[in-house]
Every structure is written in structure tokens, then in C-alpha cells.
Chains A and B, each alone.
Chain A
Amino acid sequence: MQRVLSRWNGLLLIVALLIAWQLLFEFAGEDAMAPPVATIGYLLHLLGTADFWSNVMATGTAFLFALVISLVLGLLIGLTFGLHRFSGEVAEPMLVSFYSVPKITLYPIVLLAFGIGMPAKVAFGAIHGIVPMAIFTMTAVGTVKPVLLKTAQVMRLTQWHVVRAIIIPSALPEIFTGIRVSFSLTLIGTLLGEMFGSQRGLGYLLMTAIGLQNVRMIMAVTLLLVLFAATVSVALLAVDRRLHRDVG
């Protein structure tokens, strides 16, 4: 019974959210919101137009680049600081406080440095994603069992071998959590980047829709973003849980 219940949880939650949305619509009225069914219909219509797809692709490309940069750089930074204890001690508070800074204030600097367009979007997405990836990787490396590292030392493994054969496998669950968090923050960063410094993409569509009071467009784009983020996140979470369970 418990298991059946938990399987239906997600579905129940979606239904509850849809009902809440409809109720909010009844309360807020036609000018402020679009109801669920109409929004889904409009989103499907938009997905049939080439122009909308080109915006989706623009966001997607920027996001992918930003994500790859975030994950690779974050992993490298995390591994470096994780393996070298003292530099980790120095860096951790710095990383954590950078994490809590409203990075949107740095956006003008990014724009001034990269100019308006794709590079600025990618850079802004990466700024958001690198730090959580680095923090999670660093913590993960820090919690690798000392006995494993000592064994490696006894066997005279090279640094690279230690990373590949011991650190990565045993830190994988935590690193994967880092990937999950980094994924969502990079998405937010990329979208924020598009809201200001760009002429393409979903963030740009949102900004122009506010200007035009185009409620249907705002709702449809928001729905698409939420659906995408939630779907990927649920999938990543499932892998995450399995990894954590396997390691025990």
C-alpha cells in the first residue's frame, strides 16, 4: 500500500497544482492569468511554429554550453580543492559566500566584459552553475574514506590513478547531487542572462511579453520552463537516489 501510494504521489501533486492554478485563475480573472487548459493549448500551438522553436533552440544551445562549462570547471575546481586539504580550507568559505551573493548584480559586469549575445548568456549561466558543482565535489572528495587513500598510497598509485580509481567512484553519489543542483542553477542563470542581454531565447520572449502584457505568452513560456526543469530534475533525482542507495 505504501509503495503504491508513493507512486501516485507525483500524479496527485500535479492534479493538486492544476486545481490550485484553476482556482487562482477564477480569483485573479482573465486579464491577469490564463487558465490551465488554454495555456496548454497555446503552448502546443507555439510549439508548432518555427519562430518559437528558434527561440527554444537559442536558449537550449546557450544552456548546454553553460552546463558543460559549469560541470567541467566545477568538477576540476572541486577535485583540486578537495584533494589538497589546506587550499580546500582556504577556498570553502569563499565559495560558500559567493554562492549566497545575488549574482544578478554581477550581470552588468558580465555584459561589459562579453558584450550582448551568446557569450554573455553562457558566461552568466556558468557563473551560477560552477560554484555548487565545486562545493559538492569538494565535500564529496573530503568524505572519501581515509583507509582507501592510504591503501592507494601503499600501492603507490599515481595521483591521476587515485582520482580515477578511488575518488571518482566513491564520491560519485555526492558529485551527482552536485550535477543536479548545478543543472537547475545553470538554467536559471541562462534564463536571467537572456532576460537582459539578448535578442533571442525564452528569457527574451518573457521580457517582451511583459512589455506587451501578453499574459498567454508569459504563462505558456513559464509552463514550458517549469515542465522542462521538473522533468529533468525528477529523472536526475531518481538516478541520484539509486546511486546513494547503491553506495549505502
Chain B
Amino acid sequence: MSRAALVRLGLTLLVVLLLELLCRIGMIDNLTMPPPSIILRDMFALLASGKMNGAMLKTLWNVVAAFVAATIAGICLGVAIHGQRALRQGLEPLFATYYAIPVFAFYPLLIVLFGLGDAPQIIIGFMLAVVAVIMNTLAGFDRISRVLIKTARVHRLSPVDTALHVTLPCATPYLLTGVRLAVAYAFIGVIGAEFIMSNTGVGYEISFAYNNFDNATMYPLILLILLFSVVVNAALSRWEITLMKRRGYR
């Protein structure tokens, strides 16, 4: 482990200990936040009881659905747009301002359109994720050296073969950046939508517990989501760095 990672671990522990202390001596009201040790204990109890399994599974499936749809659609659209100069220029302003638009503002509309089921939540996750994948696919394809494409042409590869054997493998590190963002955005989208309005899922359970002053459920669930997203993100970025290094970037 590097020195920076050690310091990071130490800092995290220090903050947790400080929180524990503040909670124990009553500086932080126990109604506001229970001590971290209690949250951790409650989290294991909650996981062991299996009460949340349904909600967790449902959230996870929606995230996976949004993520898979966004990745496939994003890469396909990215490949398609890359070839069309005019179309790409036309869409440029949309991409540039897309993330300035509060996507969650569309959630009410989606509920009216599709009802209060899984669909609006998956669509929100998809909408947040897909453009990041498209933009990174385009960036990746821009970096492919012309020699490779010319070689493919010399060998008379069909467009599909060119994509499968030359361009896609070549752009993999960038695609992976898009994929990592897609995971994060799908997660943010689905949980956020569940939180705003829904009747199942972890986001819903958190807001339900909040409305019922049920700290013994709310804090463990929040911790669970934080841990999950941090771990997934860290694993993906580690993979990304390994790939980048192998390609000789950085």
C-alpha cells in the first residue's frame, strides 16, 4: 500500500472516531445521528434479518438495467455518430449542455407517462448515463491512429469487422471511462428517482425511514449505499488505470 493510501485510511478512521466521540459525549444529538459503531452494528443486523433483500435486489436490477441499456446504446450511438460529421456537429451543442440540464426534473413527467413503476426510474438512470458513454466513445474513436483504419481498409474488412477487431479494442480504455461513469450515473439516477417518488427500492426505504424517524434503518441503509458505490467505483477505476498503463498512456 502506498503512503498516500495509508494516510487516506488513517484520515478516514480518524473522522469515524471523531464522529463516534462527538456522538458519545452528546455533542451530536443521538436523534440526529447515532454513533458510527451503532450504525455499523445496525447495518449487519439489517443485512442478516433479510428485511431489505427485496428492496436491494430491486434497486440493483434497475441499476443494472439502466447501466446495460446505457452502455449498449451509448457505444452503438457513439460509433454511429462518429462516422457522420454533420450529425456530430449538429449534436455537439446538445452534448455540451446536456449535463447542465436537471434530468431529475423530467422524473415527474416520466411518472405521468409510464406510471409509478420501474420504467421511469430505469429511464432516469439511462438518461443520466447514456450521454457520458457516447461522449467517451467519441473521444476514444478520435484517438485511434489513422494507420490502423487504413490497414483495415487495405485488408478489406467490413465496417462491422473493422469495429469489432480494430476500432473498439483500440478505444477500450476510453470506453471503460464511459462505462465507469455509466455505473455511477445509473446508480445516482435510480436511487434518486426512488427517493423522489416510488414505492419500492433502497432509495424509497431511506426516505420512508426518514419520514418515520427510524434512524436504526435509515443510517445503516445510507452507509450501505455509500460503501457500495465507493467500492464499485474504486474497483472500476483501478481496472481502468491498469488498462491505461498496459496501453502506455500515463
A229 touches B100 (CB 8 A): yes
A90-B4, A105-B191, A233-B96 known; A9-B90 Cβ under 8 A: yes
The prevalent SS among residues of A at the interface is helix
A32-B112, A209-B108 known; A104-B195 Cβ under 8 A: yes
> Would you list which residues of chain A between 206 and 248 have a CB under 8 Å from chain B?
206-207, 209-210, 213, 215, 218-219, 221-222, 225-226, 229-230, 232-234, 237
Residue on A nearest B183 in the bound complex, by CB: A100
A13-B91, A108-B222, A109-B222 known; A102-B105 Cβ under 8 A: no
- Comparing B71-79, B159-167, B170-178, B224-232, the segment that makes contact with chain A is B224-232
> Would you list which residues of chain B between 220 and 250 have a CB under 8 Å from chain A?
221-222, 225-226, 229-230, 233-234, 237
A100 touches B229 (CB 8 A): yes
Q: Counting CB contacts under 8 A, is A147 at the interface?
A: no
Residue on A nearest B191 in the bound complex, by CB: A102
Q: Counting CB contacts under 8 A, is B44 at the interface?
A: no
A181 to B192 CA separation, bound complex (whole angstroms): 19
Interface string of B68-97 (1 = CB under 8 A from A): 000000000000000000100111111011
Which of chain B's residues have a CB closer than 8 A to the CB of A180? 100
A-B contact pairs, 13 of them (CB 8 A): A6-B89, A10-B93, A31-B112, A101-B230, A104-B192, A105-B203, A187-B102, A188-B103, A192-B104, A192-B196, A218-B112, A222-B105, A229-B100
Residue on A nearest B196 in the bound complex, by CB: A195
Which of chain B's residues have a CB closer than 8 A to the CB of A32? 112-113
A108 touches B100 (CB 8 A): no
Q: Counting CB contacts under 8 A, is A96 at the interface?
A: yes
Contact pick for B93, options A9, A97, A206, A210, CB 8 Å: A9
Which of chain B's residues have a CB closer than 8 A to the CB of A86? 3-4, 7
Residue on B nearest A181 in the bound complex, by CB: B99
Interface string of B166-206 (1 = CB under 8 A from A): 00000000000000000010011001100111000001001
Residue on A nearest B96 in the bound complex, by CB: A237
Measured between C-beta atoms, what is the minimum distance from B164 to chain A in Å? Answer: 30
Chain A residues with a Cβ closer than 8 Å to the other chain, count: 60
A102 touches B225 (CB 8 A): yes
> Would you list which residues of chain B between 1 and 50 have a CB under 8 Å from chain A?
3-4, 7-8, 11, 31-33
B192 touches A112 (CB 8 A): no
A97-B230, A188-B102 known; A219-B93 Cβ under 8 A: no
B108 touches A218 (CB 8 A): yes
Residue on A nearest B31 in the bound complex, by CB: A112
A97 touches B234 (CB 8 A): yes
A33 touches B207 (CB 8 A): no
Which of chain B's residues have a CB closer than 8 A to the CB of A234? 93, 96-97
Which of chain B's residues have a CB closer than 8 A to the CB of A210? 108, 111-112, 197
B112 touches A33 (CB 8 A): yes
Seed contacts A96-B233, A102-B188, A181-B99; 4 additional CB < 8 Å A-B pairs: A104-B196, A105-B226, A109-B33, A218-B112
